[in-house]
Structure 1
Amino acid sequence: WDISYLIVQQAFAVTFIWTMLFLILTIVIFNYRRL
């Protein structure tokens, strides 16, 4: 139970979530512009 480990894990989770959101947004915009 280390605080630095929790901070690193939380930062990694936030980065992963933002990356997924960015990929989904890019796919949605790409599909919208194709129509």
Structure 2
Amino acid sequence: MQYVSDFAAGFMKLFQTGGKTFISWMTSIVPVVLLLL
């Protein structure tokens, strides 16, 4: 059961990190794309 708990915690951490990266991309890339249109 500890393995499942550790896996879930690691998965959530990975998801949170991915979310932060995605948001930083959205705030930096989207304005550039809109300017190019």
- Shorter-chain TM-score range: 0.7 to 0.9
Structure 1 gap ranges (5+): none
Residue 9 (structure 2) pairs with residue 12 (structure 1):
yes
Structure 2 gap ranges (5+): 33-37
Match of 1:31 in 2: 28
Deviation at 1:20, TM superposition (A): 0.3
Moved over 2 A (4+): none
TM-score (normalizing by structure 2): 0.74
* CA RMSD, 1 decimal: 1.0
Percent of aligned pairs with the same residue? 3
